[in-house]
């Protein structure tokens, strides 16, 4: 498809899932959309990054040639593109070359220390996907997730316990996805118990349900 037609297709179509399916099947068009994200000045770049994120969820294998470009999004100054990069990074973990896996995991975990709560929360909530495909790194991943209560997140320039609680809630959701296979179940359980009196009622409720499920398994 010609460049002009590709841009028109992005601009005139609101069916993201269908566009993701279409671009996943067209190698040259897919490459254009990936590069379009950082080159484009208009808001269409957000549409393009979302399409790539959707492709990473359903057809991650077609994005393997473009991983370096997509992973660079986690350093993008625009938060929306950064967040799509984070989600895609988790989805693409199974396609990282063996020699690069540790540095890949470490780069992803560094996002948990981003002072912006949404960035850290998005990373925390998707970390389980990396554990599933790279289980050999479960130890360092779990250790980092367990440290979240000590990390300071900022709201309007000030440290925010509320923001920290929200990220802790995302960590609980993550632990739900791999607790049964974790080699650090006791530490995870203690983390959950530490959230039973969270300043966020929704997080405290998640903790109650998590602890209850674990204790029932132990019976």
Residues 6+ apart with CB under 8 A from 61: 95
Q: Quick check: 19 pLDDT over 70? A: yes
Per cent of the chain over pLDDT 70 is 95
Distance of alpha carbon 27 from the chain centroid: 25
Exposed e or buried b per residue across 100-138, where buried means at least 16 C-beta atoms within 10 angstroms of its C-beta: ebeebbeebbebbebebbbbbbbbbbbbbbbbebbeebb
- Share above pLDDT 90 across residues of the chain, in percent, rounded to a whole number: 79
* Rounded Cα–Cα distance for residues 120 and 108 (Å): 10
**Contact criterion met (CB below 8 Å) for 73 and 35:** no
pLDDT at 208 over 90: yes
Q: What is the mean pLDDT of residues 130-135?
A: 98
Q: How confident is the model at residue 201 (pLDDT cuts 50, 70, 90)?
A: very high
Could you tell me where the beta strands, DSSP code E, fall in the chain?
Answer: 154-155, 158-159
The DSSP code sequence of 106-170 is HHHHHGGG-SBHHHHHHHHHHHHHHHHH-GGGHHHHHHHHHTGGGS--EETTEE-HHHHHHHHHH
pLDDT of 89 above 70: yes
CB 145 within 8 A of CB 127: yes
Rounded distance between C-alpha atoms, residue 218 and residue 85, angstroms: 38
Q: According to the model, what pLDDT value does residue 178 have?
A: 97
Say whether pLDDT at 12 is over 80.
no
pLDDT over threshold 80, residue 218: no
pLDDT in tens, 139-183: 999 999 999 999 999 999 999 999 999 999 999 999 999 999 999
**Is residue 77 exposed (0-12), middle (13-18) or buried (19+ Cβ within 10 Å)?**
exposed
pLDDT band for position 2 (cuts 50, 70, 90): low
Residue 171 · residue 145 · CB < 8 Å:
yes
pLDDT higher than threshold 90 for residue 111: yes
**Rounded CA separation 59/1 (Å):** 21
- Domains of the chain, by residue range, sit at 1-95, 113-219
What are the tokens at 34? 């990936």
pLDDT for the residue 133: 98
Please give the Cα distance from 130 to 123 (Å, whole number).
Answer: 11
């Amino acid at each position: 498809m010609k460049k002009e037609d590709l841009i028109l297709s992005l601009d005139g179509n609101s069916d993201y899932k269908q566009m993701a399916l279409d671009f996943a099947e067209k190698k040259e068009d897919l490459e254009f959309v990936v590069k379009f994200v950082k080159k484009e000045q208009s808001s269409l770049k957000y549409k393009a990054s979302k399409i790539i994120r959707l492709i990473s969820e359903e057809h991650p294998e077609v994005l393997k040639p473009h991983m370096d470009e997509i992973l660079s999004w986690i350093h993008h100054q625009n938060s929306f593109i950064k967040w799509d990069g984070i989600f895609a990074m988790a989805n693409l973990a199974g396609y990282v070359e063996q020699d690069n896996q540790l540095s890949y995991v470490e780069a992803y975990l560094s996002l948990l220390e981003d002072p912006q709560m949404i960035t850290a929360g998005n990373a925390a909530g998707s970390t389980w996907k990396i554990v599933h495909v790279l289980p050999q790194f479960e130890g360092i991943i779990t250790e980092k997730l367990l440290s979240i209560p000590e990390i300071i997140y900022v709201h309007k320039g000030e440290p925010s316990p509320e923001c920290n609680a929200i990220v802790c809630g995302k960590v609980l959701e993550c632990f739900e996805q791999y607790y049964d296979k974790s080699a650090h179940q006791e530490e995870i359980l203690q983390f959950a118990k530490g959230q039973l009196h969270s300043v966020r009622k929704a997080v405290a409720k998640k903790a109650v349900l998590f602890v209850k499920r674990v204790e029932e398994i132990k019976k």
